[in-house]
Chains A and B, each alone.
Chain A
């Protein structure tokens, strides 16, 4: 099976802009989770979608949002970007939400 894919892989945005990241899960996986990883904070959970419904949510401001489509593909959006949003954004898919398989990530740089 093909692995989790994320697009784009690299992104440079300006403070105040918004960004949309995309994730295609492993075929058959219904759960998609998003994480932010920074050197200082480690891996932080953003949210999880299961069958198009947000099932869990982390402690991030409302500027971070996401959605899942009927084909399990997911997008996350960050509005009004801040310098501190610069990070590696990881998507992970799972058949049930249990063991998760990560994509390669999108590295976002906010200038």
Chain B
């Protein structure tokens, strides 16, 4: 059974880069998309983007200029980098596996427990 675990700093200063890793256990990074989703305190879910093991990525247009998602199949990890953060980027960040059909993402079937990242000086 695939499990996901986020890791990274819980506090980031404004204007710096937020970096998170997601470790995949119980499966490989092949044949699925791997996604990041965030949830500001008391608010709804926001899709950040996803990556495929071939290197293909897709991002939320509202974040695209600041986001990079990358996969490392050798270490069973995928990562999120968000540059130039502000307090508005404070949120719980979830990593998730995305089931796909004919290379079209369908649904998020496995989620990590989430990692709270606070942006503050």
Query: Do A and B interact?
Result: no
B-binding residues in A (CB < 8 A): none
